[in-house]
Structure 1
Amino acid sequence: MEIAIIGASGFTGGELIRLCAGHSSAEVTCATSRKLEGTGVAVTHPHLRGITELRYTNPETGDIDADVAFLAVPHTAAMQYAGGLLERGIKVIDLSADYRLPKDIFETVYGVTHTHYFEAPYGLPELHREEIRGAQFVSNPGCFPTGATLAAAPLAARAATIIYDSKTGVSGAGVNPSATNHFCHVHDNLTAYKWTAHRHLAEMKMEAGRLGSAASVHFTPHLLPVNRGILTTAHILLDDPITQDEAEALYRDFYAGEHFIRLQSPSLAGVRGSNFCDVAIEVEAGGRRVVAVSAIDNLVKGASGQALQNMNIICGLPETDGLGVVPLLP
């Protein structure tokens, strides 16, 4: 399959090229960048030297020729490409936020008018595999909602309140430097940001509702001085108590057969570079509060790896194709 990556110069674009290099039938033939047209991909992604000889191009949408296109562009940019690519018969996986939410919620949360809206499957395979299968377009979830939702999903329908506390690596801020991700601000430090109003909260609420939950959902992210990973602690408050054995059985049954979900003590290093999500739970004495902790690599399961997983599903390929990367520990 010929693969086009629209917006390939960022972290997620580089990860897509890296992962596709290990895929049995995916070859990246088009890597676009408006600013870097003509520049070798390995100039901005030096770890890919010897892996790809591609140069960045800047084609019109109508000139893109591929079987599958990944939209690794900021929100509001993806909506400019999606329709045209689909009209050409190209399958599309969108890594931006443009199609994750209902139109009215998207416009409220992101403060812009959606100009090319259509409904799309939400690409969290462990919850929406049947909707994704056979689709021509999939909207890849945000990194925070991926780790958070997978931590709480088995208990969401029984929850009265869910509070997500996430710690993320600096790569989540994207490739462009800013005051927020400046070394002197991040190193030897830990900060909370967007304490009550992060944009990804809308996805978390949406997915809790789809799981049959009437819980109030809350979220606060924190910035860690590490490159990769998101560790999420979900505080799940229940109306009816549960035992440790009952909770563990519930999680085992819910994720039975899910290759990328591992029920074990989570750590960032334990999933680094991989598409795994590690989850563990502990029930507080009394049984009305369950602490569920998840770990993902924000650039893989939180972005490019999950996008490749979605591509495999819509193309009828094994979900693990190209995603056999063993986590890097230590």
Structure 2
Amino acid sequence: MKISIIGATGYTGAELLRILASHPAAEVLYITSESQPGTAINEIYPHLTRFYSKKLVSLAELEQIAKQSEVLFIGLPHGHAMEVGRKATAANPDIKIIDLGADYRFKDYAVYEQWYKVAHTHKEAQAVYGLTELKRSQVRGASIIGNPGCYTTASILALAPLVQHRLIDLATIIVDAKSGVSGAGRGLNLGAHFTEVFENVKAYNVAGHRHTPEIEAVLGELAGEDLVISFTPHLIPVARGILSTCYATLKQGVTAAAVDKAYNSLYGDEYFIRLLGPGGYPATKNTRGTNFCDLGWHIDQRTGRVVAVAAIDNLVKGAAGQAVQNMNVLFKLEERTGLDNAPLYP
């Protein structure tokens, strides 16, 4: 597969390159950067030495890039991918686009515009939401895929069985999620400086994080009705990882066995979902560097609540790994191709 990456110098772009380096069916043609064109990628990311010495090019070459590529990964900030996608599909109607940003994640463009404060310029795109385990059949026939966010991936996977099987009161969902600092990106940001993050944990964007409507939209689709959740993200002093702890009130009469059955029914055959079962405690270190999502759940008999916990690597299952997983589905490859590695530990 002829692959190009638009916006290859961020953490997500670098992670894509790392994964694709060991993908037996992938050939990286072009990588772009508007800030450092002409620079070899291994000068920016020395860990990629021996794997890549390719030089970055500018988006001015987008038409040529699109015509020569079968797959275009886009790793740009929101508001930029939709213009790239529109121009790329005009140049090559057969190209497959996987956007790792937010521009193609929403069916309702009004929701996107409300939360991201940007007008959507590619509304004719028939994009598919790329949470592979829940949308695999749609991904197979897609031309444009909106890769889910990292908080979103962990939270939706944790809650989907409970919502799909109507085991919880949908009005009681609370998501408490924590992210490693790489989720903030590679740009200079005071809040991500070592002295700000070290030995510190803090909440941010309370009641206003942009992954909130994304979680609501996908869970609402599973439920067959609109729902509203409480979502609070936190920054923790680690480089990688998402831990999402999700709470909801169980419906009257729902048993622990019914909860167990729901998780096993939805995910029992999913390779990248590792079910730790009732009483399981997912940990970010156990998924580090991999495309796995570890899930555990607990029944609080005293409060009548279920607590579902998910752990992922935000740069892999929460970004680049899931993008490659979607690419494998698109091209009818074994889904694990390029992704079947054990976690880094300790």
TM range (shorter): over 0.9
Shift of 1:296: 0.4
Whether the aligned pair in 1 keeps the contact of 2:126 and 2:143 (CA below 8 Å) is no
- 2:223 is paired with a residue of what secondary structure? coil
1:99 aligns with 2:115: no
Shift of 1:244: 2.3
Partner of 1:80: 83
Residue type matched to 1:129 in 2? Answer: R
Q: 1:187 aligns with which of 165, 188, 198?
A: 198
- 1:226 is paired with a residue of what secondary structure? coil
Give the whole-Å Cα distance in 1 for the aligned partners of 2:127 and 2:167: 27
Q: Given the two structures, how large is their TM-score scaled by the length of structure 1?
A: 0.97
Mapping for residues 185-264 of structure 1, pairs under 5 Å: 185-212=196-223, 214=225, 215-264=227-276
For structure 1, the residue ranges without an aligned partner over 5 or more in a row are none
- 2:191 is paired with a residue of what secondary structure? coil
Partner of 1:158: 167
Q: Given the two structures, how large is their TM-score scaled by the length of structure 2?
A: 0.93
RMSD of aligned alpha carbons: 1.3
Count of aligned residue pairs for this structure pair: 330
1:113 aligns with 2:129: no
Query: Structure 1 stretches (4+) deviating beyond 3 angstroms?
Result: 213-216
Give the whole-Å Cα distance in 2 for the aligned partners of 1:43 and 1:163: 43
Residue type matched to 1:163 in 2? Answer: I
Query: Per-residue CA shift, 1:77-113, capped at 9, x if unaligned?
Result: 1011102222312111011100111211000011111
Give the whole-Å Cα distance in 2 for the aligned partners of 1:256 and 1:267: 20
Give the whole-Å Cα distance in 2 for the aligned partners of 1:326 and 1:213: 37
Shift of 1:213: 5.7
Shift of 1:287: 7.5
Whether the aligned pair in 1 keeps the contact of 2:99 and 2:147 (CA below 8 Å) is yes
Residue type matched to 1:34 in 2? Answer: E
Whether the aligned pair in 1 keeps the contact of 2:155 and 2:310 (CA below 8 Å) is yes
Identity %: 44
Give the whole-Å Cα distance in 1 for the aligned partners of 2:44 and 2:144: 28
Mapping for residues 278-297 of structure 1, pairs under 5 Å: 278-285=294-301, 288-297=304-313
Residue type matched to 1:308 in 2? Answer: V
Residue type matched to 2:187 in 1? Answer: N
Give the whole-Å Cα distance in 2 for the aligned partners of 1:141 and 1:321: 20
Residue type matched to 1:297 in 2? Answer: D
Whether the aligned pair in 1 keeps the contact of 2:126 and 2:144 (CA below 8 Å) is no
1:132 aligns with 2:132: no
Whether the aligned pair in 1 keeps the contact of 2:173 and 2:246 (CA below 8 Å) is yes
For structure 2, the residue ranges without an aligned partner over 5 or more in a row are none
Residue type matched to 1:78 in 2? Answer: A
